Chain A
């Protein structure tokens, strides 16, 4: 068996403490803070605050790269990591099919979007171009394009633990055998939204953060990026790479407690750390040093100290927080610590805690004050995000374990990721009942859609064939217009969510929560809350609350910032609110990978189920309509007042027209195939990937290969269910894939669609999953998806759901009766 241990073979970093691992380490060695004045933009309210702004010329350093500041920071760090690993572009040492990119992000292109909105609101100038770089997925798409990665490519947004969550996900992909090499990390730029947002929560310390100090009063906001090259040990050694450090364990948990406040007793953080140790088969005594999350907010440092004391029996190893070196870099904070942790293991030295002066008697913790040499075998690094999304990672010295495969050496087979959701390759390692001929049981599906919230309503909409569009006012362009959209209308939030809770949730959070509750209507038997994973993707998050926060900020010149709007603007509030409402404390995540956000969530849920860490999982996706988005699209000629409804395979759209936008939330409740409950259907062959270009034959091969490795004969597939949306180019592409698949199967596999019911949006493929389940259950007739009675199979037993985003990321799964 080949060794799948994830090892770190390259690292890169850019932050306020310097550009490059050597420069940042020198700042750490000299105990020199990189905090300084804010000059990136003006802030009437917080302009006097110390921030961790990158002083280098980011545009120049990034070279010939188009994207947001976050994207550019990410690429600068990624390029350094690739070079350090001996993988410069053009070196030919990367096998594209075995390489992937997994990044965290929270800010994305918000800095540019803010400028656009300011011009729109103050000068009535309609320049929507910056919206092209708005999405958090931009950095992962950019890096994947640069290195030509054709493996799994995705972005995760779990607030301040997003980058650490991405590293965790990358480690899983390596261990599953899905990739040999992953670029993993995160980049987040400063923005007015985050500065005013943290300000509105009274979490900023104007004079610079003071972690663990008795006088600590909040964070300093920073920006930056850090990237790791993570490889499977065997393939890294085979190519002669130098191992910088090992990723020895990883664990995630959810507080399931509050939107911003951590669980005060630290039990959520403790669970993440315990899971990381368990994953690495390690005892607390084997940890030599802790890279604390240590944000310097009163709540975080108190909670984290409690958790550390519990984990280490009252006597934690040396602890430091490095936040004052570069500020709180949000998604990047976990990867920055990961890069520095690998460096500390090589240098056998630990950082100090600048900003710390007076020990807090209430904490009883004395962090390391100054840089010093210390023998290190293993270090623990914590990252905690709003919503209680906790991640802990353990890094280990490169030479601490035998580097060559030793037969019978048990320590090299870990237990944190035993099994792949998509690969049968490791099935031999598993007890027979876990080999997945059926995949995962679909126990329930909940939805909020333009055609209703119940499966019966949705199935009826498919069969009556009436268009589900309605007019939606778009006041932001002149003359004010109305777009034809697939809007959800009333979805029964008042029946499912108590008023006291509902008043604080964004509309999108309410949609996701209603869908989640509906997905559980089968009444699961008693489940252990810590064994329930929640992964809810989104393309654009709670757009309306985000826009309202930014508009308020612009129009009132940063007066009266609105904290609840900021909290709702965090993408991961979708998954974490569900966890809070339902008490689920397993891995909690919000992927934000454009049109494959749902597939990424499905992969995360399947990974947790297959590993045994979860007994039960909710996977879904949600996106909402927003006037700004519609205004931009109408300005660009995508949509007109009278855009026709979506008619897949009809070739009705002309020129620049795009299919009318929609919105919706879909949540799927998944369990293991062996269940006493009666599943609606089974899901298997769950996989995400990327293509360099649209090549139907290559996609057909990719789908067939994914089915085969999960033991599903291609010949058993009845229908390929796709995002076909009436655009000739897209419809032809999907039909060609079905054609290619038919040739491989030796029988006709029809091509189907679902967007004529739900509209075009980033979470549409989650609705596609629902459609697939209804097809295999006979609740929707195939002809209502193929739009053609003559070529339709009379019934569907096996449906492949395939999603493809314009940037080439893709995802699939197989739904069977």
Chain B
């Protein structure tokens, strides 16, 4: 799980071109969006695209995305449960 969290951190940093942000800056137990990372709802949807691209997880409903993005740890658990 911890390695998946680190993997997701790396994807967020490179996927969103977060200049000057390191993995240590991301708290796995905080909400991913609407916090200090200045990621917003469109980034959340870009992360949906990343999950589909890299883990084959297709999300079509916002309610599913909202739950998955509660925190990085919740996201890692979501990926483990749904990856194909």
A residues touching B (Cβ–Cβ < 8 Å)?
199-204, 206, 217-218, 258-261, 298, 499-500, 503-504, 559-564, 567
Contact = CB atoms under 8 A, between A and B. Distances in A.
Given A217-B62, A499-B20, A503-B17, A560 B45 contact: no
B40 interface: yes
B42 A567 contact: yes
Interface stretch (B4-12, B23-31, B46-54, B70-78): B46-54
A503 B60 contact: no
A202 B65 contact: yes
Chain A interface, DSSP helix/strand/loop, else mixed: loop
The 3 A-B pairs of least Cβ separation, nearest first, read A563-B45, A202-B62, A503-B17
B49 A258 contact: no
A259 B59 contact: no
Contacts of B17: 499, 503
B84 interface: no
A200 B16 contact: no
6 contacts: A200-B49, A202-B65, A259-B42, A260-B41, A261-B40, A564-B46
Contacts of A200: 45, 48-49
Given A202-B59, A217-B61, A503-B17, A562 B38 contact: no
B19 interface: yes
Interface of B: 16-20, 38, 40-43, 45-46, 48-49, 52-53, 59-63, 65
| Highest count of chain A CB atoms <10 Å: which of B40, B42, B61 | B42
A202 B52 contact: no
A563 B49 contact: yes
A203 B44 CA distance: 13
A217 B63 CA distance: 9
Contacts of B63: 217
A202 B19 contact: no
Contacts of B52: 559-560
A564 B39 CA distance: 12
B19 to A, nearest CB: 5
Contacts of B62: 202-203, 217-218, 298
A259 B40 CA distance: 10
Nearest to B40: A258
B60 to A, nearest CB: 7
B61 A201 contact: no
A119 B47 CA distance: 30
Contacts of A261: 40-41
A504 B62 CA distance: 21
Contact of A563 (B19, B42, B53): B42
A560 B57 CA distance: 10
Contacts of A202: 45, 48, 59-62, 65
A365 to B, nearest CB: 21
A427 B1 CA distance: 73
| Highest count of chain A CB atoms <10 Å: which of B38, B43, B45, B46 | B45
Contacts of B42: 201, 259-260, 504, 563-564, 567
A560 B53 contact: yes
A503 B40 contact: no
A525 B21 CA distance: 36
A562 B49 contact: yes
A194 B80 CA distance: 32
Nearest to A504: B42
A503 B16 contact: yes
| Highest count of chain B CB atoms <10 Å: which of A203, A261, A503 | A503
Contacts of A560: 49, 52-53
